[in-house]
Structure 1
């Protein structure tokens, strides 16, 4: 009897799990992926893609159908749509399909990998509601970057630092680049914060500490007034907010979610199984445990794929393993970076070599040909 694995989300985590299952060539298994986007988006490179002429669309957008078409047609289905309601007791999910219809999809095993979205609208750090929307936002942002003479980046987490670094590398001598940091250290006070700040200084990026954004207002002239909690206001040609990720978990009943106001992630146990549910798993940014990050997502996806296989075979799950080391790497422009492995600081060149040189774009092909799994 054919078993159905329903994967919600066609990005890094969801596609990884799909490849891991489909590569087994199990004739009694069907994998259904629900994705709001027709394409995989390598959003890790979005910080550089906003610099005009640096990255072509085809390098960071890959059709999901190309990634799945290598498997027998009867073993998979791709539904372009959005999960709107999940009933984990009945083991079924309602999906709003892109053609305007609604579909109820039953499953034997459910994988939730719907990721997260940017809290701010119209920024390209995460995929938008469709491939077309994502491309438009990315292109529009690049055009605004090109035309702006004064740019303010809001938020000094890893995305904000990388955005500021890319802007500083390209325009540090010709445009004014300001990075707003709400605290007294960037990168959440990580041990590499001082090193990253030093690299930004070399790129002529000004870091403004204790600068929490209270509100923004657009003027009739097209400028943005960025008002800080101190009352100070900055007038800029372009404001790029990078703060806040919101897990895409609205389709789940509240009892499966954390109580964090505005940040309701999926609660999972040591197996990455959804707490108080059966035959349901979650990985990636919807979990954000221990934090959101590519290497963590990749490891979680491998763990979930393995436990889904065990569940289908009627066996007990295995405890999910964390990455072997706590690695933090932040690129700062196209030839600099700051990072560490556990508590060991990495030289700037090593971070450039490992991440900043390509922003991981060499890994994209693995998600297309399945070798990632």
Structure 2
């Protein structure tokens, strides 16, 4: 008798989309060979209809000539239609999880709810920023509206204040100064500029900001921002108050999307803890967490980078493959060998893949021809930063991500 193994993925942007494609194109083809008459079905739960390539947002906010909205917002349905009925999009948000019944309660967009049974569950609901410029806010139209608002306001803006000293804040400052050199830019930083990078890289970034005449306020936070007519009054933690034409909140993730999960599964920040290095959820002694994995920014200890997420996807997917094959009585192999180029699989078949992201690696453009970066801790020259990201903001990566071609079909 044919049985169906139900896979539920919660979250529909980078991690969730990658999981669908990686499973469909590289993992499930191998499992099907060992699973007999077992079929696999994926349900992706997301309130959004579109994928948002948020990496390019700092340039896309300037105008549509530099990066059009069609290049960074892509239909999920279009990306998944190649898989037919084996992938179902469920428009909604996870509202609760029952390990006892192995089901997820979903609040559907437009009203109503649905219970989704799972054999395997991937948690990939990530984080949300205060501004929809940087992450999806349930409907991609909110992000579009935020971009359009800046497109209209920036050409006439004389003063712009940006909060956040991470890549988003620095890149946004660089894009605005490149496009509108006469605008006075203030960058408010809670700690220091690009604080996770090496001292030499940080020094280069500070020089770029100084040369562009960006006023940087370190160890300072925005406590309140109030729009008054065409201006915004920004209150700072140092007691200052600044009235500017445009205020951009670039502080990154401010909400962890884990409210539907048991609190005992979370760390003090609200992220999901794992029981091993392979992204199996730790859970607690009261719940059956077998077959539950977590990927992306919602992972406890995550550095919130795309480089890390890519490595998490292949490792978590291999954990799923190993666990399923073990239940079916099959044998798993060692990673490596002739097929080691296939993430998670070795020459002997299904294998557990180690989590090995590129550490201390980041590229931060400052306009289209400058920026800073490091790879494995080593400083990158300007031409490498320019070619690596500054020229096109990695737009060439959008189609492979949405269509799944980044994962060769087995």
Both proteins in one fold, TM over 0.5: yes
Whether the 8 Å CA contact 1:272–1:282 is kept in 2: the answer is yes
Query: By how many angstroms is 1:189 displaced?
Result: 5.7
2:189 aligns with 181
CA distance in 2, matches of 1:321, 1:16: 16
CA distance in 1, matches of 2:401, 2:203: 35
2:299 aligns with 287
1:260-271 aligned at under 5 Å gives the runs 260=269, 264-268=270-274, 269-271=276-278
- TM-score, scaled to structure 2: 0.84
1:145 aligns with 154
Query: By how many angstroms is 1:22 displaced?
Result: 1.4
Whether the 8 Å CA contact 1:337–1:349 is kept in 2: the answer is no
1:224-373 aligned at under 5 Å gives the runs 224-245=232-253, 246-260=255-269, 264-268=270-274, 269-276=276-283, 277-287=289-299, 289-314=301-326, 318=352, 320-373=354-407
CA distance in 1, matches of 2:110, 2:196: 46
Whether the 8 Å CA contact 2:273–2:300 is kept in 1: the answer is no
CA 195–203 in structure 1, closer or farther in 2 if over 3 Å, else same: same
User: Which stretches of structure 1, 4 residues or more, deviate above 6 A after TM superposition?
Assistant: none
Which residue, 26, 37, 40 being the options, matches 2:51? 40
- TM-score, scaled to structure 1: 0.92
Could you report, residue by residue, the CA deviation over 1:49-87 in whole angstroms, capped at 9, with x for unpaired residues? Answer: 11013211110011111111111x221101111111112
Whether the 8 Å CA contact 2:128–2:256 is kept in 1: the answer is yes
CA distance in 2, matches of 1:153, 1:240: 5
Which residue, 202, 215, 219 being the options, matches 2:224? 215
CA 177–288 in structure 1, closer or farther in 2 if over 3 Å, else same: farther
Whether the 8 Å CA contact 2:296–2:302 is kept in 1: the answer is no
CA distance in 1, matches of 2:233, 2:111: 39
- The question of 1:203 aligning with 2:212 is answered yes
Instruction: Decide which structure has the larger Cα Rg and report it.
Output: 2
Query: By how many angstroms is 1:288 displaced?
Result: 5.6
1:6 aligns with 8
List gaps (5 residues or longer) in structure 2.
33-37, 284-288, 333-350
Query: By how many angstroms is 1:335 displaced?
Result: 1.0
SS of the equivalent of 1:267 reads: coil
Aligned length: 364
CA 249–290 in structure 1, closer or farther in 2 if over 3 Å, else same: closer
CA 18–189 in structure 1, closer or farther in 2 if over 3 Å, else same: closer
1:70 aligns with 82
Whether the 8 Å CA contact 2:197–2:360 is kept in 1: the answer is no
Could you report, residue by residue, the CA deviation over 1:110-142 in whole angstroms, capped at 9, with x for unpaired residues? Answer: 001112100x2x441111111222222222233
CA distance in 2, matches of 1:155, 1:90: 43
Whether the 8 Å CA contact 1:4–1:30 is kept in 2: the answer is yes
1:87 aligns with 98
CA distance in 1, matches of 2:279, 2:115: 25
Whether the 8 Å CA contact 2:177–2:185 is kept in 1: the answer is yes
